[in-house]
């Protein structure tokens, strides 16, 4: 791991980074935890439209299940007429769809929220963009004879908690989101078969929504009248309905499940603390919003005016574009801030909205560099 990698790891002891090296992305990911698995992408990788799979962050509550336990996804319960049990090869009868989407953990940036909150102290690296190939959840539900009165789809992976007292990772999404044509059951990532760490053989893709909805090792799909219950619906992955002062606790009444991730941008380079050569340089990074396409990205150099960056890549809700901003690197210490605006008019804020779990951090990203 290079110097920047260590800087990004912050407080993490070097020893656990070495443990991660043995199996995580050949040592290219930053380890925040092993059990649960919390492996982040280095910021320097966010200068590409497609995040290479070996650099793609991994976040698993219990780790992957034994493959043999999860060859099929079962579509069942009282709200389907024809329960189905489908392996990857059975999906060939449905239309294949490939789309590009950002996968971001709701806790990405938690380590930067002020005041501090408990939980994995993620920096910026629990996000990536990939192309995902699979079939529409809607088509599979249709084939199973979905009862039109179903209001939610309950979901579970084949991964099990380490002991029965630990709550299982069960979730649900509202039926409208399940039937959205962009919601996929995927088996390929970046053109290659999905890897076990990312949910093979089958995982859910929910573009624009935070990563906790993107169920890996998808094993059970059950349309229902009610949302799923349990820790990960009733306690975890909830945000205040309206902003609350730091220290306020969440209750079922003042909170709701988080869904769409807000507008955000990140600078891949220059890296914070880096030495930059004199002359023509560029600031490069990514910008995305779960709600709408990116409308503009602006850079503030030192304390100057906000200036527009150039955008590259296809615009769209839930997918990222690259931005580039050319500047003349002059001797001294310099800094930049970036802010993105989406087509729905949302502007990335200077300070993120505080919430007790530090979800959806999206404050301006700032970097400082030196020119000799």
Ligand X SMILES: Nc1nc2c(c(=O)[nH]1)N[C@H]1C(S)=C(S)[C@@H](COP(=O)(O)O)O[C@H]1N2
Q: Does 103 bind ligand X (CB under 6 A)?
A: yes
Q: What is the total count of residues that contact ligand X (CB under 6 A)? A: 19
Position with the least CB separation from Mo ion? 105
Query: Which residues 234-273 are close enough to bind ligand X by CB under 6 A?
Result: none
Q: 235 vs 275, which CB is nearer to Mo ion? A: 235
Q: Taking CB within 5 to 8 Å according to partner kind, which of ligand X, Mo ion, none is near residue 319?
A: none
Q: Whole-number minimum distance, CB 248 to Mo ion, in Å?
A: 23
Residue of 24, 43, 59, 325 interacting with ligand X (CB under 6 A): 59
Indicate the pairing of strand 192-193 with strand 203-205: unpaired
CA distance 143 to 135: 12
Residue of 211, 240, 290, 313 interacting with ligand X (CB under 6 A): 211
CA distance 101 to 1: 28
- Judge contact between 366 and 336, C-beta under 8 A: yes
Q: Whole-number minimum distance, CB 179 to ligand X, in Å?
A: 20
Q: Whole-number minimum distance, CB 71 to Mo ion, in Å?
A: 25
Query: Which residues 184-203 are close enough to bind ligand X by CB under 6 A?
Result: 198-199
Q: Taking CB within 5 to 8 Å according to partner kind, which of ligand X, Mo ion, none is near residue 157?
A: ligand X
Residue of 42, 45, 46, 61 interacting with ligand X (CB under 6 A): 61
- Judge contact between 318 and 259, C-beta under 8 A: no
Q: 152 vs 339, which CB is nearer to ligand X? A: 152
Q: 179 vs 194, which CB is nearer to ligand X? A: 194
Q: Whole-number minimum distance, CB 194 to ligand X, in Å?
A: 9
Indicate the pairing of strand 275-276 with strand 365-371: parallel
Among the listed ranges 52-60, 144-152, 295-303, 321-329, the one in contact with ligand X (CB under 6 A) is 52-60
Give whole-number Cα distances, 102 to 228, 241, 341, in Å.
25, 24, 17
Q: Taking CB within 5 to 8 Å according to partner kind, which of ligand X, Mo ion, none is near residue 187?
A: none
CA distance 237 to 229: 12
Tell me: cis bond preceding 241? Omega within 30 of 0 counts.
Answer: no
Which candidate, 352, 366, 367, places its Cα nearest to that of 108? 352
Q: Which residues bind Mo ion (CB under 5 A)?
A: 59, 105, 211-212
- Judge contact between 294 and 340, C-beta under 8 A: yes
Q: Which residues pair with 102 in a beta bridge?
A: 129
Residue of 5, 157, 240, 270 interacting with ligand X (CB under 6 A): 157
Q: Does 134 bind ligand X (CB under 6 A)?
A: no
Q: Whole-number minimum distance, CB 275 to ligand X, in Å?
A: 32
CA distance 155 to 298: 39
Position with the least CB separation from ligand X? 157
Q: Which residue's structure tokens are 């190939």?
A: 133
| DSSP line for 273-329 | T-EE-SEEEEEEEEEE-SSS-EEEEEEEETT--EEEPEEES---TT--EEEEEEEEE
Task: Point out which residues bind ligand X (CB under 6 A).
Answer: 56-61, 103, 105, 157, 159, 169, 198-199, 211-212, 214-217
């Amino acid at each position: 791991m290079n110097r920047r990698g260590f800087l990004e790891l912050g407080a993490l002891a070097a020893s656990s980074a070495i443990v991660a090296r043995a199996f995580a992305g050949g040592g290219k990911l930053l380890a925040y935890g092993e059990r649960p698995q919390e492996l982040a992408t280095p910021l320097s990788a966010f200068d590409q439209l497609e995040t290479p799979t070996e650099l793609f962050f991994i976040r698993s509550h219990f780790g992957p299940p034994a493959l043999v336990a999860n060859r099929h996804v079962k579509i069942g319960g009282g709200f389907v007429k024809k329960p189905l049990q489908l392996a990857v090869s059975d999906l060939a009868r449905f239309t294949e769809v490939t789309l590009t989407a950002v996968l971001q953990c709701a806790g990405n940036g938690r380590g930067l929220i002020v005041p501090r909150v408990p939980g994995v102290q993620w920096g910026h690296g629990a996000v990536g963009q990939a192309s995902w190939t699979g079939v529409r959840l809607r088509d599979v539900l249709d084939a199973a004879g979905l009862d039109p009165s179903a209001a939610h789809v309950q979901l579970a992976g084949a991964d099990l908690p380490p002991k029965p007292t630990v709550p299982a990772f069960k979730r649900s999404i509202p039926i409208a989101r399940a039937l959205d044509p962009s919601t996929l059951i995927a088996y390929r990532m970046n053109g290659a078969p999905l890897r076990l760490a990312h949910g093979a053989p089958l995982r859910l893709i929910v573009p624009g929504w935070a990563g906790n909805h993107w169920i890996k090792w998808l094993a059970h799909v059950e349309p229902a009248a009610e949302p799923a219950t349990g820790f990960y619906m009733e306690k975890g992955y909830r945000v205040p309905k309206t902003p609350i002062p730091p220290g306020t606790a969440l209750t079922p009444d003042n909170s709701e499940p988080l869904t769409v991730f807000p507008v955000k941008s990140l600078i891949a380079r220059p890296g914070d603390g880096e030495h930059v050569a004199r002359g023509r340089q560029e600031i490069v990074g990514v910008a995305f919003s779960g709600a709408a396409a990116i409308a503009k990205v602006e850079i503030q150099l030192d304390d100057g005016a906000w200036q527009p960056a150039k955008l590259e890549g296809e615009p769209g809700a839930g997918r990222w574009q690259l931005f580039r901003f050319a500047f003349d690197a002059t001797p001294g210490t310099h800094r930049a801030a970036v802010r993105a605006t989406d087509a729905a008019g949302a502007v990335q804020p200077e300070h993120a909205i505080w919430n007790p779990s530090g979800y959806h951090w999206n404050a301006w990203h700032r970097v400082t560099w030196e020119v000799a």
